[in-house]
Amino acid sequence: MRVYFGPCGIALGHAGRCIPIAKALRSSGNGVFFSTYGEAVEFVRKASFPVGEAPPIKVFEKVDGEFDFRRTLSAGPKNLYQFALQIGAEISLIERFKPDVVVSDSRLSTVLAARMIRIPSVLLLHQLRIMIPHRRPIKKRYKLRIKSNVERLGLEILGSLWKRSKVIIVPDLPPPYTIAKANVVPSYQYLKKVKLVGPIIPKHPEELPEQAEIKRALGFDDRPLIFAAISGTKAEKLMITKTMAEIFREFPDRYNIVLSRGISDSPCPEIRTNGGRLRIYNWVDDRYAYLKACDLLVTRGGHNTVGESIYYGKPMVVIPTIAHSEHQGIAESVEKMKIGKRIQQYDLNRASLLAAVEEILESGDYSKRILEAQRFAKNYDAIESICRTIRVVASGGSL
């Protein structure tokens, strides 16, 4: 079987969750090829997969990492042209590789290209409904009604296109532990095609030594370990990690801290400050060792990272990107499930972050809730389920 992956290239999350699926398929003797763009191209190449580069779709950010809706909207005509180029590039790459099945991660161009040349496709997607970004909560009812109606219209328009795939796989948990509750709202047009399979976990906790053993191996003592694993676009990561490094330098000595900037294409030596209590990296190769070793995770609210945190049973502090509707919705879900705290970026400072960390670590409620969520999540093996679905679609079988 030959499998073609087309993950979205904005940030690394989409390619990051396709790679373990591709590794599982390759280990079974299947051929794999990737197509993506942006920062994700080199990320896939470093994972030792052949990759073709597609024309990029550009989104704009402000200095603080906030999604710049106006500039992105103004680039609409150019992005439409780029989208057409993407479809053409995808058709060319697919015809060259000759796959039995195409797997798109949040890329409509890949789905449409596969449909045009009659190759069955599988869609990996958790943002079924695209939310209109806004900086502050909307309080006026009529504005909320307009927003809801426009989002519903967008859902149905996109639904008419997403349904060109054979199946839509959502790497999220069913209720009551759905991570992206606001986004996992399917269109009526493809309701029967949707499969919730749980978060994609490349390495399970039981594959690693016990927490205390990993801490010792990493050179930490028995003080609580905070792991700040930052995701997002490169500009956003550089901005927020600069702020967080300054905050963590002022944290009490009773905590050990690891800050990963999430910059995969820029190697940087380890920086140790505060007597070695704070370690800063551009990238950590085995994030799962740090995830199991830590007592608390700090995250931007990326879908993959929050899913991994639940699977590893780690409570979290979520600092969602300003006006990033997906991150904001996930942060709200985390708070409602009582498995972590949310801090808005404009409220982020030493006092707010320290208060959230202390509340989580000193209260038994968060540990209890996250362990309940972990037990639920362990009923799902997303990689196995997705690989099985890909094989069925490639063979022309019924799901």
Local confidence pLDDT in tens for the 399 residues of the chain: 999 999 999 889 999 999 999 999 999 999 999 999 998 999 999 999 999 999 997 765 665 555 555 666 565 567 788 889 999 999 999 999 999 999 999 999 999 999 999 999 999 999 877 655 555 666 666 555 655 555 555 556 676 788 899 999 999 999 999 999 888 877 777 788 999 999 999 999 999 999 999 999 999 999 999 999 998 877 788 899 999 999 999 999 999 999 999 887 776 667 888 878 999 999 998 899 999 999 999 999 999 999 999 999 999 999 998 878 889 899 999 999 999 999 999 999 999 999 999 999 998 899 999 999 999 999 999 999 999 999 999 999 877
Give the chain's domains with CATH numbers: 2-198+380-395 (3.40.50.2000), 205-377 (3.40.50.2000)
Beta bridge partners, 226, equal 257, 296
Secondary structure of residue 186 in the 3-state scheme: coil
Count the residues in the chain: 399
Name the amino acid, one letter, at 111: V
Count other C-beta atoms under 10 Å from residue 328's C-beta.
Answer: 23
Q: Evaluate whether 327 touches 300 at the Cβ level (below 8 Å).
A: yes
Residues sharing a CB contact under 8 Å with residue 245, sequence separation 6 or more, in sequence order: 259, 278, 280
Residues sharing a CB contact under 8 Å with residue 285, sequence separation 6 or more, in sequence order: none
Name the amino acid, one letter, at 222: D
Count other C-beta atoms under 10 Å from residue 205's C-beta.
Answer: 18
187 DSSP 8-state letter = -
| Angle between helix 303-311 and helix 325-336 axes, rounded to 10 deg | 20
**Which of 355, 351, 372 is CA-nearest to residue 363?**
355
Q: How far apart are CA 217 and CA 278, in angstroms?
A: 16
